[in-house]
Each structure stands twice: as structure tokens, then as C-alpha cells.
Structure 1
Amino acid sequence: MVDSVWLREERRGTAPLTRERIVAEAVALLDAEGAGRLTMRRLAERLGTGSTTLYWHVDTKHDVVDLALDAIFGEVALPPSTGDWRAEVTALLRGWRSAMLRHPWSAEVLGRPLLGPNVLARTEFLHAALVRAGFVGADLVAAAYALSNHVIGSALMQAGSGAAEEAAERSAADELLARRREEYPTLASRGHPSGNDWDDAFDRGLGFLLDGMAGNARP
């Protein structure tokens, strides 16, 4: 049986502690310190309340993460319907990636069922756009997964290191490849793929995916 905060009736609280305030403080904590530092005790301390009071609103830390993650998806604007499925998908995925980069922890906690209203609304938008493009059945699932994985993978890789660390890693990688040119001739001649223009790489990769999908769509 799936255990999710979205499958239980919300327990209404009164000010000063409400679900909305819990979510806002949880997002702030996650942004500042990452998913590994989130505990119910630390969240309760930041809220100025006791763990018992917090547990009246949410059962587990997983509940908090699910609520916070759905709030992040709420930052992703739903593009206007234009009739151009490719433009709509591009706008949605760019917005999703930007939200994940503002909240790097979000890419690390996507393993749980995503059943919140903001997640479902954006998933519905993506699937509806792909259906209009002619994708059905297993092809629809594969197309949606491919696009989602492109966003998640791009955000994970970019969030993994800062600019200074990235430059140092690129320099060290290029030095290694120069010494071992015979083993890795292609990489040595073109440079290690780290340190690229992340936005350009994301858009180019998305373009490749959509080009392939357009050729397999069934209008």
C-alpha cells in the first residue's frame, strides 16, 4: 500500500502553525542545508514549536519532503496553450529545470510517488501535449520518461558542483586526458565534457529528443 500525505485527509491547523508555514520553512531548510540535514526535530525548532505539534500536521519526514517537492513544482508556470506541442513541452521543461536548479535538493528526492496537485497538473500538461503530438500507449510513457529524465539528469549534474570546483575538475580532467591521449583520443582532442555551457547543452539535448519524437509521432 502506498503511504503518501496526498492520500490522507489534511488535518487543518490554526495560526501560527499551518501546513503552509511548515512547507515554507521546510523549503527554506532544504535550500540552505540539503535533504540530508532535514529532520523533524530541526524543522520543529525552526518553526519554534515542539515535535509533537509538528506531528499533528505531518506523520513523517517523507510527508514533509512530498509537500516541499510539490511546492517546488508549483513554481513551474504552465505554458499557455498554443497548439504547438513542441513549444509547449520546451517551455514546461525549461521552467521545471530552472525550479530544480533554484532548489538543488529537489532532484535528489524524486524517488517517491509524485501525487501532489502541482506535480499532477504539470504531468497532465506534459502528457496532454504528447497525446496531441500523436503519442499513445507505451510510446507516450517512453516519450514522457525520456523528457523528464533529461531534465532531472541535467539538473543533477549542474547542481553537483559550483563554478570554481567545475573549473578545477575540468583542468584536472584535461591534464589526465592529455597524458593518456592514446587511450581516449576523442576526449583528448575535444576536451572533457565537464565545464560546458549548461543551458546550451540542455537546449541542444532537448532539441535532439524532440526531433526524434517528431519523426515518430502519429498525427
Structure 2
Amino acid sequence: MTQQAERTRRTPLSRDRVLGAAVALADEVGIEALSMRRLAQELDVVPMALYKHVTNKEELLDGMVDALVSEIDPPVGDAGWKDAVRSRVLSARGALLRHPWARQVLESRTNKTPAVLGYMDSFIGMFLAGGFSVDLTHHVMHALGSRMWGFTQELFDDSAAASPAPQPALTPEAQAALFKEMAERYPNILQVAAASAHDDSVVGQGCDDRFEFEFALDLLLDGFERLHAQNWSSRSGRPPAQV
């Protein structure tokens, strides 16, 4: 047994240690391969030892989300609301890029832990501290959606930009024929999807590189700023009811 393994064996088991090991294991093998038994093996304990710290797999996943939240930078105290929100969103995105499993787990959570609620509360607080009305803040949060966690549902997947379904390895001739067919049937999709290559890291499936993410985020923040300056409210901003 190596000295590292010996030190690990002697370290008392705790909730923080269990969660840290779960995060590291999911980073290494993926969230699908993470199980209580596999985690127990990683910690060199019997599976029942884990249940003193997390009651089941769902609580383990909730705790992993809490660990993720702890990596997101707190709001910048001396910055304006716009810079503070932008910085926080990009910090959240950085955390997700470090942990490829995180988006899938976040989307699967139905239980909001105190850490998650605290993050949401402080995020809302940045807009309120910037002078936003409660009404406008409510709609701003709807507009941001999952972007507050650093990801969005993207439209184009560059890995399959030219085909409606995954394709086996194609000869150059067959690939050229496929592109020709796509160009004839769906010329606008092909033109936009193939307009540029995205070489940054990706959160989950789809085109979600840094440029596209920040481009859309800045559009939203500029729009929020304009509405705030106009003292917008949902009542004044809503079109008249049709009769």
C-alpha cells in the first residue's frame, strides 16, 4: 500500500470527504458510472459507511451540487450590478466546465438545497441592490433561466452541423454528397451552422462555446439595463389585451 493510500485509509470519513471524493470520481469516470458502491471502493470503506453521511444517491447528488455552488465566486461588492452579474455567471460557467457532469445533475434536481437557494437569493440580490424593482427582477430571472448557472440550451451542434442524425465514417465522396443534399434541402441551416468553427470547451451537448455564451449574456444584460433606465414594469411593458 502506498503512503497516499495509507493516509487516505487513516483519514476519518466525513460528509465533506465523501462529497469531495464523489466530485473527483464523477470528473474522472462520468456521472453515469458513479454509484455508492464505486464511491465506497474509492474511499476504501464498506458501502454502509457512506450512509452515515448521505442517506442515498439522491442526497449524494444534492451534495455534489452544493460543492459546485461553493466554487462559484461570491458577488463582487464594489462593482455595479451589470459587472457583478456578468462576473458571477462566468464564474458559474467556469465551474461547470471543470465538472462536465454538473449540467446533467443540475437539470435533474427537484430538491433545492439551502446552498442552491442561497445562490439564487444572492443572485437576485445583485439586481435588487442595483436598484431594479421586484417586478423587473422577476422577469429578468425568467429571461436568464439556466444561464445563471453558466449554461443554456444551444441551437446548433457543430459536431453534427451538417447532418440530422449521427453518421458512420463516410468516404470523402459520400460526405460531399451528404453536404450537397443538405445544401439543397436545408440551405439556411447549413449556412448558419457551418458559419464558424467553435474550438472552446463545451458544457454538455451542443454549441455552447465561450464567445456565443458571452455574446448572448451581454445582449441580455444590455436589455436589462435599458429596461431599468426606463423604469419598466410588466404592466406598462405588456401589450394591450386583444378584444
TM-score bracket for the superposition, by shorter chain length: 0.7 to 0.9
Which amino acid in the other structure matches residue 87 of structure 2? A
> Which ranges in structure 2 are unaligned for 5 or more consecutive residues?
1-9, 165-174, 201-208, 233-243
The aligned counterpart of 1:114 is 112
Verify the 8 A CA contact 2:92 2:149 in the aligned structure 1: no
* Structural mapping, 1:1-219, within 5 Å: 15-110=11-106, 111-112=108-109, 113-117=111-115, 119-131=116-128, 132-137=130-135, 139-150=136-147, 154=151, 169-170=160-161, 176=178, 178-192=180-194, 195-196=197-198, 198-217=209-228, 218=231
- The structure-2 alpha-carbon separation of the partners of 1:88 and 1:205, relative to structure 1 and needing over 3 Å to count, comes to same
Query: Which region of structure 1 is more displaced relative to structure 2, 123-132 or 88-97?
Result: 123-132
Deviation per CA, 1:36-92, whole angstroms, max 9, x where unpaired? Answer: 112111111111111221112211011111111111111111132225111100000
Q: Deviations over 1:5-47 (max 9, x none)?
A: xxxxxxxxx9511111101100011111222112111111111
**Alpha-carbon distance in 1 for matches of 2:13, 2:50:** 8
Counterpart secondary structure, 1:104: coil
Between the aligned partners of 1:17 and 1:179, the Cα distance in structure 2 is: 59
For 1:60 and 1:187, how far apart are their aligned partners in 2? 45
Offset, 1:136: 1.3
Cα separation, 1, equivalents of 2:142 and 2:29: 29
- 2:55 is paired with a residue whose SS is coil
- Structure 1, 68-77 or 85-94: larger mean CA deviation: 68-77
1:26 counterpart SS class: helix
TM-score, length-scaled by structure 1: 0.76
Q: Which residue in the other structure is 2:206 paired with?
A: none
Cα distance in 2 for residues equivalent to 1:148 and 1:210: 13
Change (3 A) 1:100 1:148: farther
Distance apart, 1:194 and its partner CA: 7.7
Q: SS where residue 95 of structure 1 aligns?
A: helix
* Closer/same/farther in 2, CA of residues 93 and 72 from structure 1, 3 Å limit: same
Separation in 2, partners of 1:135, 1:156: 28
**Residues of 1 paired with 2:119 and 2:148: CA distance?**
14
2:25 and 2:34 in contact (8 A); partners too:
yes
Checking the alignment, whether the CA contact within 8 Å between 1:170 and 1:192 is kept in structure 2 is: yes
Segments of structure 1 that go 5 or more residues without pairing to the other structure are 1-13
Post-superposition offset of 1:116: 3.5
Q: 1:151 to 1:59 in 2, by over 3 A?
A: same
How large is the Cα RMSD of the aligned pairs?
2.9
The residue type paired with residue 89 of structure 2 is L
CA distance in 1, matches of 2:153, 2:191: 26
Residue 16 of structure 1 aligns with an amino acid whose one-letter code is P
Q: TM-score with structure 2 length normalisation?
A: 0.69
Query: Are 1:67 and 1:116, in contact at CA under 8 Å, matched by a contact in 2?
Result: no
Q: Distance in 2 between matches of 1:188 and 1:122?
A: 39
Q: Is the 8 A contact 1:30 1:37 kept in 2?
A: yes
Task: Give the 3-state SS of the residue equivalent to 1:214 in structure 2.
Answer: helix
Contact 1:100 1:155 in 2 (8 A): no
User: In the alignment, residue 51 of structure 1 is paired with which amino acid?
Assistant: P
